[in-house]
Structure 1
């Protein structure tokens, strides 16, 4: 049993030495879609709505590779396209949120499962900008921004060149926003993104 475990560990170590990947700066484009969810909390009424969103953008980062492990830092910018429009006739209540864009900075930690396949985790922080209309009879429009912790998981495929393709899921934890009528507007976003990158 011990001999088998030792052989397995030795094999993993030798495999890791053979997977010294690229280290350096990289940049690229990203795009995809998902769902934005918003919730308004009142003492007598909770309203929750969601809408599909899509977006595209750019990113720039740096990655270093040691054996099977990778670590990096990345900044990105994404233009949103999505709206939430909610009206409650009985209360003359109106809520409309239009997503504009977000930007964030993240740390990435990854593991090379094969010479050309990397699985990675993302953790970061940024801001989402939006226009929101809320109120009764005559809604008030405001430009707002949410602080936005980010978490994600993805896989990157590459070849013998410096080109790479990432498939990634991200979750945005938007902070609560206090609206003009003192209600709390809570929101989040689930995104599925495709990234194309080039490492220099």
Structure 2
């Protein structure tokens, strides 16, 4: 399932004349006391298996301290929802945060089970500072709708009602949105649990 999810939601990136792809080197199942237990997570509503990208230098911090919300609000992907933990249903989006390069081709993608809570707010544009403050205070689950989304007809339901949005990438209809791919934001670390895989 992991490889299928990766292949369907990743798109090659072209920089000048070089096309960058992705392949699986190793898959790790991770247990860390820094994250809520699976028993805790499985009781929560609206659970989704999502991709999170991270620098290699940050991976040990995540395993030691868990996912920590971003510390700033910027009107750019990954930061536009304020102090949130941001993941995506597109491996293509998450891979950008691995900051790999020709001289360091290995990066990490983290698969996280995230509970989006009882109420999910969909956002198609760039939220203003007041909107972000309200989201942080209410701790709503947020879906930032990208210009591309995963084909819902191909989504799966995994154990304990965890949704796996592993459909191929298709136009979402939100052509003027600031995000290329969907982003999901949660504000409470107790709503996110990770499993990790290493890619190259």
Q: What TM-score does the superposition give when structure 2 sets the normalisation length?
A: 0.23
Higher relative contact order (CA 8 A, sep 6+): 2
Select the structure that is richer in helix.
Answer: 2
